[in-house]
Structure 1
Amino acid sequence: MIPDLEGAEVLIAVDEHGSIGAAARHLGITQPAASARLRTMEARWGLALVERSARGSRLTDAGQAVAGWGRAAFERVAALQAGLEALQERHDRGLRVAASLTVAGYLVPRWLGELRARYPAATPQLMVVNSAAVIGLVHDGTADLGFIETPDLPPDLAVRRIGEDALVVVAHPSHPWAHRDEPVATDELAAEPLVLREPGSGTRRTFEAALGSAPTVALEASSTASLVGAVIAGIAPGVVSERAVTAAVQNGELVPVATTMNARRPLSVVWSRERRLSRTAEALVAIATAGSATMKP
């Protein structure tokens, strides 16, 4: 039979406080409830554990033995509780986040700041790679959460859409496209050498899907910053997230080019269905989801 822990708790309190009434007050229960717990325990085991008198209550020899065993049991339970809480705190404190470049550069820092405001002890680790690599890091367990910017969503991971992003074509002010009135058609985009992100990136995959054909590459850049720098240097027009060129367009370094292409892509967070998310991971997903309504360039 499973030991009666509620009865043992009352028994220990009677030993320490001298009466059933004082024990009940210590435990925050009524005296009749405390008495009932003791009677149930005594009846269950066929033992007299407490001697009751007008002057108070004291434990019998059997009661003293049971109280001693009870104290040892509660100490072990307390140690188990402390150990579990420590493990939970360590699990919640460490959060491994992988994010594709646009999300990492323009959105994740804001979300992590809000997460730290809620959980000051959290120590998130951020890995910045392209969307294909993010999915790989979540697959192999290196990352707890992955933020991606690709239409190719992994069917074997849990996925939540958190917003969307628009790709734009930008050019140096001296490029002919910077001064034309009519939009650039997709066949012109396909024929023109462009500065693009590397294969496997969400930007490249979204652009190729919108273009409907293989693009002509003038330069491949493995980061958004290097792509924007190459376009500013006049190498060729580039295709990039609208968020990444807001400042360059505002200060006149780049000119947005009107096109007939509709290149919008979902922004999503992914995680393994096989691994339980920590509280901090769940909080970050909620923060990112709530922030989707305000995700403007």
Structure 2
Amino acid sequence: MSSRVDVMALRVFVAIADLGSIGAAADHVGMAQPNASRVLGRWEKEHRVRLLERSTHGTRLSAEGQMLLPRARAAVLALDNVAAELDDISGSGRQLLGIGASQTIAEYLMPRWLAAYRSVKPEVRFDVRIANSSELFDTVLAGSMRLAFVEYRQIPEGLEHRHVGSDRFVLVVSADHPWALRETLVTQQELASTPLVVREPGSGTRHELELLLAGWQVEGEWIEASSNAAVKVHTLSGVAPTFISEQAVRSELEAGMLVSVPLRLGLRPRAFHAVWRRGLKLRSAEIDFINTAARSSRSSGS
């Protein structure tokens, strides 16, 4: 039996454990699915161990695979850290920065952060993936993305994080909505019984609304929209109020197109965080960008 460890097979194995299928794992490591299956099958045969249980219902780790997983995951993380160290030594890590961003951050904060960073390091290129916060958590935990910026209060286990800014939420209506002239404060009970335009499950904005109404029976119909832009279109049309980041509606509030309706309860600011896998060595470029985001947010008051 060979003691050699096939690095690609190791990566495929960990990706299957994290993503739940050979197909997703193959995409993650940049291989065709048949090749990924062949690499892992050869590895199992070479070491005379069955790491996966394959069936018509899918693929899952065997008992032996479960035993191997913690060390395999640590080995893949160590390899990624070696690659980051080499990038920093050679300088190549400063040329392309791949990051994720939740929608509110991507639309209203990321452009300012990118401009501030590139004013100092114009040679850096960026690859920004936009998704909601829960999707980004899954992607970073699976190792498909090294660094992401999210707008969620609870950070999952397995992730390191750093606060880079904050925002606050407002309840807004169109200028011709009956609540636009309202003088009394809206209560949680009233909010729970009122139809609202809301973001999709998994978004940081939806999470904040669910926290606000925790313990209350939601009776009002919720109209879901998958982006801040879509939420604003619905709200501007007068369909229903929405609970949204002030960042997302600042220009509409200033123009008088939307009106902020006062809530009875005080709302805590929501934190923006940079997140990455626990134990991952961040590249110098990634650390610099996190610092830039934090400085930019402080200077703008967000």
TM-score with structure 1 length normalisation?
0.68
Would the aligned equivalents of 2:171 and 2:241 in 1 still touch at CA under 8 Å?
Answer: yes
SS, match of residue 275 in structure 2: strand
Larger Rg: 1
Equivalent in the alignment of 1:122: 124
Post-superposition offset of 1:183: 0.8
Would the aligned equivalents of 1:161 and 1:266 in 2 still touch at CA under 8 Å?
Answer: yes
Q: State the one-letter code of the partner of 2:280.
A: R
Q: State the one-letter code of the partner of 1:282.
A: I
Instruction: Please tell me whether residue 283 in structure 1 is matched to residue 288 in structure 2.
Output: yes
Partners of 1:122 and 1:229 in 2: how far apart? 35
Q: State the one-letter code of the partner of 1:281.
A: E
Q: How does 1:61-140 map to 2 (within 5 A)?
A: 88-140=90-142
Q: 1:164 aligns with which of 156, 163, 166?
A: 166
Deviation string, structure 1 residues 45-74 (Cα, Å, up to 9, x no partner): xxxxxxxxxxxxxxxxxxxxxxxxxxxxxx
Deviation string, structure 1 residues 71-110 (Cα, Å, up to 9, x no partner): xxxxxxxxxxxxx679733333221111111111111111
Equivalent in the alignment of 2:197: 195
Equivalent in the alignment of 1:238: 242
Equivalent in the alignment of 1:150: 152
Would the aligned equivalents of 1:96 and 1:145 in 2 still touch at CA under 8 Å?
Answer: yes
Identity among equivalent positions (%) equals 34
Unaligned stretches of 5+ in structure 1? 1-83
Unaligned stretches of 5+ in structure 2? 1-85
SS, match of residue 233 in structure 2: helix
Post-superposition offset of 1:250: 1.6
Deviation string, structure 1 residues 122-160 (Cα, Å, up to 9, x no partner): 111111111101111211222221111111212311111
Runs ≥4 residues deviating over 4 A: 84-87
Partners of 1:231 and 1:277 in 2: how far apart? 41
Would the aligned equivalents of 2:88 and 2:94 in 1 still touch at CA under 8 Å?
Answer: no
SS, match of residue 158 in structure 2: coil
Partners of 1:281 and 1:214 in 2: how far apart? 43
Change (3 A) 1:127 1:262: farther
Equivalent in the alignment of 1:292: 297
Change (3 A) 1:85 1:140: closer
TM-score with structure 2 length normalisation?
0.66
Instruction: Please tell me whether residue 176 in structure 1 is matched to residue 178 in structure 2.
Output: yes
